[in-house]
Amino acid sequence: MKAWLKCTRCGRTYPPDIELRLCECGSPLILIHEIEGLGIGGTELKKIIGSRPPGVWRYLELLPKAIGEPVSLGEGGTYLQRAERLGRELGLRNIYLKNETVNPTGSFLDRGSTVEVTMALHSKVRCLECFSRGNLAASLAAYAVKAGIPCRVYVLPGAEQAKILQALAYDAELIYSSRRSDQLGDGHLVEPYNPFFLDGLKTSTLEILEQLDWNPPDAIFITMGTGSNLTAAWKALSEAESIGLIEENSTRLYGVQASGCAPIVEAFKRGLDEVEPKKDYKMIFPDISEPNPILGSIVLKAIRGSSGSAIMVGEDEILKSIKLLAKTEGVLAEPAAAASIAALKIAVDDGLIDRSERVVCMITGSGLKDPASMRELFKLSYPKHVRVSGTKLKILKLLSERSMYGYELWKSLKTAYGLEFKLPTIYQHLSELLRMGLIVSKPPEKGFGRRMVRKYHLTESGRRVLVESLNREP
């Protein structure tokens, strides 16, 4: 079976070559598989696929060919979770989550990395490189380790620290620059729109189809940065149709971007065929903030061609969706992933989705990768979910009457409640309350004795938590 690279704009073709990602005309290339060359029908292919172990490489006939074992960490084969409790919240009967958080490095990109790195080894590449603000760096670095070749990451401004640390743990070399170094330019650059990489990403949609018994869902919601995941989904659906894995490609694709940097959604709303690069943008969630998405025009075509839509969601809506998803389905998503849930909610409200339709949301990455957003979320959930009891509650009560020094508190607990502790115990409680943001301590006031003593004050959060906790006291 043959395969070749084809330009998405001018149609020019090239033989498969890992170093090729753009056509001479400047547009991205995709890998075309000669379906007829397979010589088998859909039914037969389904059986062959079904006989292989789960994972990306199960769909061998629709992937680039390499000699030898794939470079794998066990990516793909992720759970398609029926989300009944979330569905009840949103008023939908048939929601599914494609839970990509369980991939080896915690994101869907591992599917692209296994294919790209396998092909890189096949082409005798000696070093891998990428530009990244987070997830791509972590994923590529892990697969480079498995392949036994070095990985160099150009860390872009605004990168997410935890994910970059993840790449560092996988022994990547970090260069804080948006330009490739000329002296070091010997590596193979992995972009999320590389044709082989896209083919790896495509397998999440192939899995969705297979998990739904080859009956395509009515809609798939996918967050967009460069647009690679949506492009891959579109490619998977069209290939599945032309090879006879599904009867009809009837799935509507919904692309999602976060407000602050949503050039694809803006182009869609304005009816444009091309995405205009954004000069002014806010990078709220760095990993999906792509001001100049190179796959923009393909994504627009895919969305329109599938009768889907492009939806923009706000920061607060995204954070609330993280919480909603976690508490209804036990899936902790990072903001980029939860954005698909936020968009689904909007689509339901706008009447774009019928209540009985089968809808899949791609949960592309794990919330564990983004402690900063988790902290934001925790702030949002005050005071509803934070309660204190026992000595801490008594300390808050005393501080609500007046601010006090530690020693004063110690004495007051004794006189007001008959509680007797050693002094350090009080300071232990105080430091925990400080960390929870329920109290603050001010530096010593001028002229107060000779000892460095701090006065403790109740914060607004502390006041709310106190009220909530007192209401719950028996």
Nearer to Zn ion, 28 or 293 (CB): 28
Question: In whole angstroms, what separates CA 463 from the centre of its chain?
Answer: 35
Nearer to Zn ion, 31 or 83 (CB): 31
CB of 300 to Zn ion, least distance (A): 17
Nearer to Zn ion, 204 or 297 (CB): 297
Q: What letter does residue 344 receive in the DSSP assignment?
A: H
Nearer to Zn ion, 27 or 425 (CB): 27
CB of 13 to Zn ion, least distance (A): 10
Q: Does 13 sit near Zn ion (CB under 5 A)?
A: no
**Contact stretch for Zn ion (CB under 5 A) within 2-10, 223-231, 354-362, 379-387:** 2-10
Q: Does 10 sit near Zn ion (CB under 5 A)?
A: yes
Q: Does 470 sit near Zn ion (CB under 5 A)?
A: no
Centre a 10 Å sphere on the Cβ of residue 132 and count the other Cβ atoms it contains.
29
* CA atoms of 132 and 159, how far apart (whole Å): 7
* CA atoms of 40 and 19, how far apart (whole Å): 31
CB of 294 to Zn ion, least distance (A): 13
CB of 232 to Zn ion, least distance (A): 20
* CA atoms of 278 and 337, how far apart (whole Å): 22
Residues 313 and 256 sit within 8 Å (Cβ to Cβ): yes
Q: Does 7 sit near Zn ion (CB under 5 A)?
A: yes
Binding residue count for Zn ion, defined by CB under 5 A? 7
Residues 175 and 183 sit within 8 Å (Cβ to Cβ): no
Q: Rule CB under 5 A: which of 17-46 touch Zn ion?
A: 23, 25, 27
Nearer to Zn ion, 12 or 472 (CB): 12
> Which positions ≥6 away from 474 have C-beta within 8 Å?
none
Q: How far from 152 is each of 136, 189, 313, 404, 437, CA to CA, in Å? A: 12, 9, 33, 54, 39
- Peptide bond between residue 104 and the one before it cis (omega within 30 degrees of 0): no
Closest CA to 363 of 222, 255, 193: 222
* CA atoms of 247 and 18, how far apart (whole Å): 32
CB of 40 to Zn ion, least distance (A): 32
User: From residue 126 to residue 145, what is the string marking binding to Zn ion with x (rule CB under 5 A)?
Assistant: --------------------
Residues 284 and 330 sit within 8 Å (Cβ to Cβ): no
CB of 22 to Zn ion, least distance (A): 8
Nearer to Zn ion, 23 or 267 (CB): 23
Centre a 10 Å sphere on the Cβ of residue 464 and count the other Cβ atoms it contains.
15
Nearer to Zn ion, 98 or 235 (CB): 235
CB of 191 to Zn ion, least distance (A): 17
Pairing between β-strand 358-363 and β-strand 455-458 as defined by DSSP bridges: unpaired
**Contact stretch for Zn ion (CB under 5 A) within 11-19, 35-43, 143-151, 176-184:** 11-19
List contacts with Zn ion (CB under 5 A): 7, 9-10, 12, 23, 25, 27
